[in-house]
Amino acid sequence: MLELKEIQDKVIYDQAAIEKAVKELGRKISRDYEGSALLLVGILRGAYVFLSDLSRVIRIPHTIDFMAVASYGDASTSSGVVRIETDLRQNVEGKDVLIVEDVIDTGLTFKQLKKTLEARHPRSVKICALLDKPSHRKVDLKPDYTGLVAPDTFLVGYGLDYLEHFRGVPYIFSVKPGALEPLQAAGKLL
Ligand code: PRP
């Protein structure tokens, strides 16, 4: 049984910091997409917490849907080839699609997803990420909406997992140096 106290090091973003960032994103998105057919697409699994909060601070009509994707290879050898495990229920034709991610690292997932979705003729495809880790980027990509620019350290909580655990922790924390080894062994470190 994994205990939070065994792996948590520092709190990087507390609940107040996250709430502030999410509210600000909600304000910008509500302003920019006014009058459009906004569809928020959460990328499972990490985005579920963020999408839930973001949807509740967007003050314009919108719909939501989800996709689950898997990239071939582990994090460090990510090929950029994304396999769709669960596809959208909605037809995106003519819609303004906003992909909602917990974090952008290499940018490969979004690059591939954008290509896939654009082939379905939406009006637009943009991305909103709560966290951006530009130091990990492998492709030229600047998210259209970013909540927080994150340090180059493994982060957990608010949807982000430690070997599938602790996604429900309401703040975001770094892990103790001793807890990095299992991540390395599982190929989760970039
Ligand atoms: C994370 C995140 C993005 C992707 C971003 O998902 O939720 O989908 O990685 O990485 P990239 O910019 O390097 O492509 P992850 O594979 O950890 O799965 P999860 O959401 O189920 O935790």
What pLDDT, on the 0 to 100 scale, is given for residue 70? 84
CB atoms within 10 A of CB 128: 24
Q: Whose CA is nearest to atom 14 of ligand 1?
A: 109
Task: Report the distance separating Cα 63 and Cα 79, nearest Å.
Answer: 31
Q: Measure 56 CA to ligand 1 centroid, in angstroms.
A: 23
Q: Measure 46 CA to ligand 1 centroid, in angstroms.
A: 7
List the beta bridge partners of residue 104. 132
CATH architecture, range 4-186 = 3-Layer(aba) Sandwich (3.40)
What pLDDT, on the 0 to 100 scale, is given for residue 74? 58
Per-residue model confidence as pLDDT tens for the chain (190 residues): 889 999 999 999 999 999 999 999 999 999 999 999 999 999 999 999 999 999 999 999 999 999 999 876 555 555 667 889 999 999 999 999 999 999 999 999 999 999 999 999 999 999 999 999 999 899 999 999 999 999 999 999 999 999 999 999 999 999 999 999 999 999 888 7
- The sign one gets for the Cα dihedral 163, 165, 171, 173 is negative
List the beta bridge partners of residue 126. 98
Q: Which atom of ligand 1 is nearest to the CA of 46?
A: 20
Structure token digits, residue 25? 């994103």
pTM: 0.95
- The sign one gets for the Cα dihedral 38, 39, 45, 51 is positive
Q: Whose CA is nearest to atom 7 of ligand 1?
A: 46
Q: Is the backbone peptide bond immediately before 45 cis, with ω within 30 degrees of 0?
A: yes
Structure token digits, residue 171? 């703040």
Domain boundary assignment for the chain:
4-186
